[in-house]
Structure 1
Amino acid sequence: MAWLVTGGAGYIGSHVVRAFLAEGIDVVVIDDLSSGHAAFVPDGVPFVQGSILDAALLRRTFAESSVPITGVVHVAGFKYAGVSVQRPMHTYEQNVSATVTLLQAMHEAGVENIVFSSSAAVYGTPSTDLVTESTAKSPESPYGETKLIGEWLLRDQGIATGLRHTSLRYFNVVGSGDPELRDTSPHNLFPLIFDALVDGRTPRINGNDYNTPDGTCVRDYIHVADLAISHVAAAQRMEAGEPIEAVYNLGSGDGVSVGQIMSTVATVTGIAFEPTLAPRRAGDPDRIVASGDHAARDLKWQMRHTLEEMVQSAWTARNQASTRSE
């Protein structure tokens, strides 16, 4: 058997690919390289460059794979919540229309398993500081809306065709499981901090008057390699015909503050700095942390890395990339 990883040349997708290979499971990657990197795809892994909006390409990928594809991990998508407000139609095309095209191609090919990359953005600003899978969904951006619609598409296709599916709701994904792989997003916290330090600028904290121990926002930060392991566990559970929930939160149950991250970065990098203080952003809640109990029960989910290890792995990957570019 083989699993197709859409977006498998991206930061998260490339870690998922390696987690499958570590379990001896064949993988096929499809990615349009709009935010991914061909160098992130391991040697020997079949790589199809193109968009999952291309139905003909998807049909060929399923039909021509040397190892039959029995499931899909759907990581591809437009993942920038803030930018999605300015580009709603692009976001819907990439995240909703593309998922429809993928599900149709899967059905035509007889592929009946899918693990979907969803997001904590489906919750918006929750009224509780410990989020569970049953917490009310109230997305506040086109990005969050498209992820929730993606979950609905899987649900409805499951009812119609028997598709086996689960959606994994990510919180803040950080770190690196391989020095060759790093987060290159221009919008995520770790790259923003590292870019500032490398450029000689001071990282910024938005607000220090929240109702938290150090006054800065508390959020869930999870290591990308731990996330990847749970994708493989979900795939294996489906292949074995074992029961699986429709959705899982991949959360720490605890969380760390932005202030803690800044001080840890200073320690790990050896670059002493005091963050610049900016006004708090409207709508930012004091604390959002998710319970990962269901995923721990079913998907081998656990926090295997300390905050320092998360920062160190990300910093090492960033430095290695800088060395290669010199």
Structure 2
Amino acid sequence: MTPSSLSTSEVSDLVARIEQGDRVALARAISRVENETPGSIAILDACFPRTGRAFRIGVTGPPGAGKSTLVTRLAQEYRSRGETVAIVAVDPTSPFTGGALLGDRVRMGELAGDDGVFIRSMATRGSMGGLAVQTAQVCDVFDAAGFSRILIETVGVGQSELEVAQTADSTTVVLVPESGDAVQAMKAGLMEIGDLFVVNKADRDGADRAVFAIRSALELRSIRSEWNVPVLLTAASIGRGVSEYVERLEEHLAFLAGRGDLERRRRERLSQRLDDLVRDRLWSGFRSRVTRESRESLVVAMLERRMTPHVAADRLLESAERAASPTAPPTASPTAPPRDAET
């Protein structure tokens, strides 16, 4: 059943309850925002003036690196320091339900019962905005709710690792001692986005070699910074190295704030988010004005080499424009360029 839209007073009441620590209201608001149900934009608009206070920490890396265990220990360490913690665990999408496949409470059960921690699994739905928009919006709700630290754990595959850099104030790349991880990280572009690197499961053989490999790879980074990127050793399963990890995260926050880089990163993040939202709305509007049949006919024409991709795109755009302005006279159909023209 699709939730009904919310009135202005209902949105105000919901956000007020969120600020007062009502976990049921918080869960309800996040569900509406994540699923883009009626009233979700009104909730986000009401939350936005209350955001900008939380420190957002991205934790990413390849599968099997122990990110969930590390995030659990990180949350516990922050709680011991009096911080409130929200966790956004980005999971693969179930092909059957569209929901999060792994589930947050399966992996982070040790945090259950702590009112200062709120965990939410999000599915990577493959929408236009993807992780960058969906996660940022959920983080805004947590921010408005007063959580001081928001931990964003990504699934560790595909484009999501790179998108997390647009969502977080500070990004940690988690690797493991096994040979080849550092090379894979470089291939995936992770070396460029990491503000901190953690070699987790450091109680295994090869941890020191992994640290050396990562530090060597950091020397090749194309973007230089005055921040000396730390490479830390942790064994999250037994809590080793987590306190030092938190200390370095807080050092990075102070470094960013002191140089004005925190504001710059947040400005760039909002700029990217604006572009993503506009692109998403333009694409949605375009798709709504173009029939599946007309699009498929153009794909067939390209497949049979009767039409170039550029000409097909022009035809599709003209069709969408006519649908948007049905009184406008049709434009002349473009002529396909010669076959030797590059498309």
Structure with greater proportional helix content: 2
Structure with greater proportional strand content: 1
TM-score (norm 1): 0.30
Larger Rg: 2
